[in-house]
Amino acid sequence: ANYTGPLRPQVHYSPPKGFMNDPNGMFYLNGVFHLYYQYNPTGLGAGNQQRRLHVGEPADRAVPPEERQYVFSGSVVVDANNTSGFFPNQNNGVVAVFTLARYNADGSGGPQTQAIAYSHDEGYTFQYYDQNPVINSTSSHFRDPKVIRHGDAWAMVVAYAQEFAVGIFTSPDLKQWTWASNFTNHGLLGAQYECPNIVKMPVRDRDSGAVVDEKYVITLSAQPGAPLGGSVTQYFIGDFNGTHFSTVDAATRLTDFAKDNYAAQFFYGVEGNPISMGWASNWQYAQQVPTGNNEGWRSAMTLPRVSYLTKAPRIGWTMVDEIYDPEPILGDSLASKTDMGNGSVTVDYADVASGALYVEANVTGIDVAKATSFSTLNLTFASPASGEALRSGFYLGGDNPFFVDRGGLRGFDNVFFTDKFSVADVYYDGAADKSAAWRVQAVLDRSLYEVFVGGGRHAGTVLLYPSQPLTLLTVAARDLPPGAKVSVAVWALKSTWA
């Protein structure tokens, strides 16, 4: 495949060609992370949905759609104890659980039912179960099953999309499913619920990192009708007993402060801190973004994200270890300043073949009483050739926001592609001396910008389409109060495709 296009992410997953949406069937087994996705191999918009395998060599369709039905989103489990009976002599049997979305001759939606397929070769090839569907329905809005192991049973969350309910089912064998309860009318509804997930997460002490408790998290995508437009993913924190989910509070929390992270799913089979990936796009413009016409592909996934719960409670996001590891992707150090004061660092990365960077900036010891409302730390990625720039940064004062502004880029003109995002309350609460501190970890990857702010307290995923490549990074601190200590480090990232 050709991954050389100027907008083609180099450390994020994107399909060789065609249109991709939701991540599907993610699991970890015997040292390999597996990812499938909603895929239209023959078009640059949604349609003809299949689930395609990405791991090692490109494989054929993982689960081929039959006539007049799409394979919609779903998940994968490892049936280590052969509960299904599909794997008499194996402890590495893999079962996919997904939605069959039928449609009528006139194109209108038919029933959506839940089906399974099994794999004897760790997910490279699948066979349909001959008695599908395993959950029948007459609804044309019943989809996206995510299955986890709970105690001695399997538990599924699945969306009754337009009834705004997450259905919870249980099964001894992945074939026979019993409805147990509904989690209904929570949070942002949009026009429909999609892609529910449920995952067990450790609650960690801020200072020691020790696990002090354990909760369940339901993530739930909704669209259209998100606060920022289009699609959004929210989450709820609570307890799960295998059949019922009850929230610890009435709050709806968002996984992302920008608008390009949807339909996230957690990997099955990851112990400890769960790892998720989302679709780095938004249904408002996913089918129009310029990578389609210019480069023949549309949509990338977010980086995998490690997550845990803070006592606050909320999700804390962490970069996967691989980002810090020279082996897979961390490249040359391009800048490193430990006490820059109210100064700046400029990095010309035109020669970095991947065009991708990892940036960390920290400001500690901020004396808030002496700050002015003009105290800032800015990260700006510019194209000297065209004068375009992606801007981001911190402001002190007011509600202490971090912002990202893609309005200075000219490669995509679309009324829904709004350009300014911000998140309030960004202090890093992990600072040892408990003084105010800023912390940002950012990956810029050609047409994708992912930032973790406040030590993972907030995450933002932002698509960007410059008309010329961005090649000049400036990190600048201004009007910070005396005593503030600024450190900046910038690395090149290596292409995963080269």
- How is residue 50 written in tokens? 């299949």
Shortest reach from residue 21's CB to ligand FRU, in Å:
5
CA distance 251 to 232: 15
Binding flag, residue 49, ligand FRU (CB under 6 A): yes
CA distance 450 to 440: 10
Q: Which of 90, 27, 109, 10 is nearest to 62 (CA)?
A: 27
Shortest reach from residue 263's CB to ligand FRU, in Å:
5
Kindly list the distances between the CA atom of residue 68 and the CA atoms of 63, 134, 465, 484, in Å, as whole numbers in the listed order: 14, 19, 36, 62
Shortest reach from residue 4's CB to ligand FRU, in Å:
28
CB 478 within 8 A of CB 379: no
Q: Which is nearer to ligand FRU, 72 or 412 (CB)?
A: 72
Shortest reach from residue 236's CB to ligand FRU, in Å:
18
Shortest reach from residue 84's CB to ligand FRU, in Å:
23
Q: Which is nearer to ligand FRU, 22 or 79 (CB)?
A: 22
CA distance 265 to 472: 34
Interface residue with ligand FRU among 15, 44, 116, 194 (CB under 6 A) is 194
Those residues with Cβ within 8 angstroms of residue 26's Cβ, 6 or more apart along the chain or in another chain = 33, 34, 35, 36, 75, 76, 265, 266, 267, 268, 277
DSSP 106: T
Q: Which is nearer to ligand FRU, 264 or 319 (CB)?
A: 264
Our answer to whether residue 106 is catalytic in this structure is: no
Binding flag, residue 113, ligand FRU (CB under 6 A): no
Interface residue with ligand FRU among 11, 83, 144, 495 (CB under 6 A) is 144
Kindly list the distances between the CA atom of residue 24 and the CA atoms of 132, 278, 482, 487, in Å, as whole numbers in the listed order: 19, 10, 50, 39
Shortest reach from residue 458's CB to ligand FRU, in Å:
23
Write b or e for each residue in 330-349: b if 16 or more Cβ atoms lie within 10 A of its Cβ, otherwise e: bbeebbebeebebebbebeb
Interface residue with ligand FRU among 27, 72, 266, 491 (CB under 6 A) is 72
Binding flag, residue 38, ligand FRU (CB under 6 A): yes
Shortest reach from residue 30's CB to ligand FRU, in Å:
28
> Residues 236-275: x/- map of binding to ligand FRU (CB under 6 A)?
---------------------------x------------
Those residues with Cβ within 8 angstroms of residue 358's Cβ, 6 or more apart along the chain or in another chain = 323, 330, 441, 442, 443, 490, 491, 493
Q: Which is nearer to ligand FRU, 219 or 380 (CB)?
A: 219
Q: Which is nearer to ligand FRU, 174 or 195 (CB)?
A: 195
Element housing 35 (H / E): strand 32-40
Shortest reach from residue 155's CB to ligand FRU, in Å:
19
Catalytic residue among 22, 144, 256, 260: 22
- How is residue 379 written in tokens? 């990260």
CA distance 264 to 252: 16
- How is residue 117 written in tokens? 């397929």
Q: Which is nearer to ligand FRU, 103 or 497 (CB)?
A: 103
Q: Which of 238, 235, 280 is nearest to 255 (CA)?
A: 235
> Residues 7-26: x/- map of binding to ligand FRU (CB under 6 A)?
--------------xx----
Q: Which is nearer to ligand FRU, 47 or 58 (CB)?
A: 47
Binding flag, residue 232, ligand FRU (CB under 6 A): no
Q: Which is nearer to ligand FRU, 18 or 466 (CB)?
A: 18
Q: Which of 478, 451, 445, 489 is nearest to 6 (CA)?
A: 445
Element housing 285 (H / E): none
Shortest reach from residue 277's CB to ligand FRU, in Å:
14
Q: Which is nearer to ligand FRU, 141 or 206 (CB)?
A: 141
Binding flag, residue 99, ligand FRU (CB under 6 A): yes
CA distance 414 to 292: 14
Report CA torsion sign: 329, 332, 334, 335: positive
CA distance 392 to 380: 6
Angle value at C-alpha 125, between 111 and 85, nearest 5 degrees = 75
DSSP 295: H
Interface residue with ligand FRU among 62, 95, 195, 363 (CB under 6 A) is 195
Interface residue with ligand FRU among 143, 406, 446, 457 (CB under 6 A) is 143
Interface residue with ligand FRU among 14, 69, 73, 307 (CB under 6 A) is 73
- The catalytic site residues sit at 22
Q: Which residues bind ligand FRU (CB under 6 A)?
A: 21-22, 38, 46, 49, 72-73, 99, 143-144, 194-195, 263
